[in-house]
Structure 1
Amino acid sequence: MPVSPAMAEDLATEVARLYDDAQAALLERLAAALEADIQSPRWAELKLAAVGNLRTAVEEIANVLQQDTNGAVRRALIEAYNRGRQSAVAELGALDIGRELAARQTLPNAPAVDRLAASMADDTRPVYARITRAIVDVYRRIVSGPAGNVLLGAATRRQASQRALNAFAQRGVTGFVDRAGRSWDMASYAEMAVRSVTARAAVEGHVDALAEIGVGLVMVSDAPLECPLCERWEGEVLTLTGPPGPQTMLAEHAAPPEEPRRGLLRRRPPTPPVVVHIAGSLIEARAAGLFHPNCRHSLAAYLPGVSTRPPHHATPGTTYEDTQRQRAIERHIRRWKREQAAAMDEAARRRAGAYVRKWQKAAREHVAAHPDLRRKPTREQIGAAR
């Protein structure tokens, strides 16, 4: 069967959960640190004296997060790579080359997995370095700002602290910029990176398996609700090893020369070479945006004379902009869930919870109005990619 980023999407769930838990723990630790001794007129003095305790607690959370994530990522990469390879076996299973591939060992390509794991580590290393600094910085700003004024009553100090916490919960730990120049918060950035690298592992497992048996061409699916980045590659043939740019080539017909008939083999008549129009290379297409996070496209082996152009998926009444509206609603849900996690009292928690329910209702109504859309509750959790 064809390979697609969606094949490995569920593998990012464990890592996303780790970041969800870590972000919630960080917000709760920050709120608890500010809440302690808030009735005391020496509150600001006590808070600044305790900053070392907060830093130690945050560093412990960050270190555990990094260790757990590294193990989860490697497990996800191995599974994604094997899924991609097995998809090639399933796709070509009815052909001799498919049976040949199925008979080979399916152990993951260790160098490929190591390379992807190293890439993931490089992409997320800034996350762990920034966590402690961001939490301690916002703590100092709250304590040193209006909330720390000795003339404020405890209730007013609580309100000022809560406003600052809400603002921080909305943003999260920010300042992470991907290769396309887009800005992310910590959890969304890490979850996006994991989803991207596991999708790459699945595609590489598929492509490596095809290369082993001499299949050098692949074809991109025609996915519904495609984005502008991918539209130009829909239904096109790409080369795995050839040069970039469009080209036309003559290829040998991929159908076997013999076919069974009543227990005998019948020789096919000679078939002329097949004219194949190639849109570019797979490397070129991926560099231009194909298989970006949330990409709906898949990749299949292209066998000259056998493969046909994929059918177009019509989506009447639903547009790409409708999918982006769904993403915006999901961001609102995550924003208010972060405020709920950072609440210092029951009133603030109830207010944030009301907004969570409001945007969850909007999500249900939007999906109901567009049958081609599907609601994904995991995308409404704190830390999900935006």
Structure 2
Amino acid sequence: MPVSPAMAEDLAVAIARLYEDAELALLEKLRDALEQGIDSPLWAEIKLRSIGDLRQAVEEITDALQQDANGAVAEALATAYGRGRQAAVAEVGALDIGRELQARRVLPGAPAVDRLAASYAEDTRPLYVRITRAVIDAFRSVVTRSSASVLLGGLTRRQASQRALDQFAARGVTGFVDSAGRSWELASYAEMAVRSVTARAAIEGHIDALAEIQVGLVIVSDAPLECPLCAVWEGEVLTLGPQSGPHTIRMEHAVQPRGLRAAFRAPETVAVHVAGSLVEARAAGLFHPNCRHSLAAYLPGITTRPPHHPTPGTTYKDTQRQREIERNIRMWKRRQAAAMDDASRRRAGAYVRKWQAKAREHVAAHPDLRRKPQREQIGSAR
């Protein structure tokens, strides 16, 4: 049974829901803090004095989120690692080495799981600091801009606050920017991080199990709608060892003849072209978040190159358009949650329905795509 990032996808979705709910709670805290006493002539002065209360409320949400997420991730990693090992058992179970692997009982509490959990906690730690800063900065900005708009005339304080709050909701709670300069919404960044680390756990469980029985080669699947980063590795054999770059090796056939005559013959060998190492392929982008490829044990003389999966009428660009539609649905749901009056709420809801209709049309026009409602959520709207 091949192993792929999709094997741990359900685990990532469950954890991403924690972040979605937190994002909604933060947005509602910000909205309520701004709306309270908005008709008072001393509103701006009162708001700036109440920043400490808002900061405390935000920190309570982020502390609970960090604790819940780290615990859930640790559990998900153990599950993903175990699934990876079971995939290896299923792949080679019919062979002698498979029965040997099946007989082993390795608990997925292993150093690999602990290392990945620690890596996730370290990678996301700055995110929680950024959450508090982003919400407080947005609060100050809304108060300052709304006060200026009222003084200059043309907008009521509620209208000015709603306009500024809409802009904040449109870009997401944090506006988190990664090392590559890409901007992420809170829930989207968290889901990406969780999907990456759980996928790594499944793959490491798989290759650790194969390494235990001296299976040193794996083969990459051919997946539909592949991105340019992965296309070069499709159907290629990779080594689990350190040697990088294309090379050809001779290996014993995975199934050798048995019997007395076979005992006096040299083992049958086959030539295997290796495209590079798994480490090299992953560094080049293979198994990125949302990657559709899988990895299977390569057994010399038995494993064959996977068939190509044509997708007529659908391209990788079409998948990226689907992601764009999902981002717009989430954006308008955030604006709906941030609405300070019924008119703004109805307007945002109308745009949510408009983009949901676009999602249905896009999927209907491309049968190879599947709609994933969880990618359109930020939590239940008010």
Q: Which TM class, normalised by the smaller chain length? A: over 0.9
Within the alignment, does 1:46 sit opposite 2:49 as a pair? Answer: no
- The separation in 2 between residues aligned to 1:266 and 1:170, in whole angstroms, is 74
- The separation in 2 between residues aligned to 1:181 and 1:104, in whole angstroms, is 45
Within the alignment, does 1:99 sit opposite 2:99 as a pair? Answer: yes
- The separation in 2 between residues aligned to 1:245 and 1:130, in whole angstroms, is 40
- Alignment TM-score, normalising by the size of structure 1: 0.94
Distance 1:106 1:44, change over 3 A: same
- The separation in 2 between residues aligned to 1:256 and 1:249, in whole angstroms, is 18
Are the counterparts in 1 of residues 217 and 238 from structure 2 also a CA contact under 8 Å? yes
Name the % identity: 74
Within the alignment, does 1:278 sit opposite 2:245 as a pair? Answer: no
- The count of corresponding residues between Structure 1 and Structure 2 is 378
Aligned to 1:185: 185
- Equivalent residue of 2:345, what SS? helix
Distance 1:310 1:111, change over 3 A: same
Could you tell me which of 326, 341, 345 is aligned with 1:349?
Answer: 345
Give the C-alpha shift of residue 15 in structure 1.
1.5
Instruction: Write the deviation string for residues 285-343 of structure 1: whole angstroms up to 9, x where unpaired.
Output: 00000000000000000011010000100111111111111111111111101111111
Give the C-alpha shift of residue 14 in structure 1.
2.1
Give the C-alpha shift of residue 106 in structure 1.
3.3
Aligned to 1:262: none
- The separation in 2 between residues aligned to 1:179 and 1:295, in whole angstroms, is 20
- The separation in 1 between residues aligned to 2:360 and 2:312, in whole angstroms, is 19
Aligned to 1:62: 62
Aligned AA for 1:88?
A
Aligned AA for 2:288?
H
Aligned to 1:20: 20
Aligned to 2:329: 333
Give the C-alpha shift of residue 186 in structure 1.
2.3
Within the alignment, does 1:313 sit opposite 2:309 as a pair? Answer: yes
- Equivalent residue of 2:170, what SS? helix
- The separation in 2 between residues aligned to 1:149 and 1:180, in whole angstroms, is 36
Instruction: Write the deviation string for residues 202-258 of structure 1: whole angstroms up to 9, x where unpaired.
Output: 000000000000000000000011100000000000000131111111111111433
- The separation in 1 between residues aligned to 2:271 and 2:183, in whole angstroms, is 44
Of residues 269-278 and 286-295 in structure 1, the stretch that sits farther from structure 2 once superposed is 269-278
- The separation in 2 between residues aligned to 1:353 and 1:82, in whole angstroms, is 42
Give the C-alpha shift of residue 124 in structure 1.
0.5
Aligned to 2:194: 194
Structure 2 stretches lacking a partner, 5+ long: none
Aligned to 1:214: 214
- The separation in 1 between residues aligned to 2:64 and 2:119, in whole angstroms, is 20
- Alignment TM-score, normalising by the size of structure 2: 0.95
- The separation in 1 between residues aligned to 2:306 and 2:206, in whole angstroms, is 19
Aligned to 2:163: 163
Instruction: Write the deviation string for residues 50-94 of structure 1: whole angstroms up to 9, x where unpaired.
Output: 111111100100100001011010011000000001010111111
Are the counterparts in 2 of residues 147 and 158 from structure 1 also a CA contact under 8 Å? no
- Equivalent residue of 2:275, what SS? strand
Distance 1:140 1:178, change over 3 A: closer
Aligned to 1:250: 250
Q: RMSD of aligned C-alpha atoms?
A: 2.0
Are the counterparts in 2 of residues 44 and 149 from structure 1 also a CA contact under 8 Å? no
Give the C-alpha shift of residue 125 in structure 1.
0.8
Within the alignment, does 1:380 sit opposite 2:380 as a pair? Answer: no
Could you tell me which of 299, 303, 321 is aligned with 1:303?
Answer: 299
TM superposition outliers: structure 1 runs of 4+ over 6 Å: 152-155
- Equivalent residue of 1:145, what SS? helix
Structure 1 stretches lacking a partner, 5+ long: 260-264
- The separation in 2 between residues aligned to 1:40 and 1:144, in whole angstroms, is 15
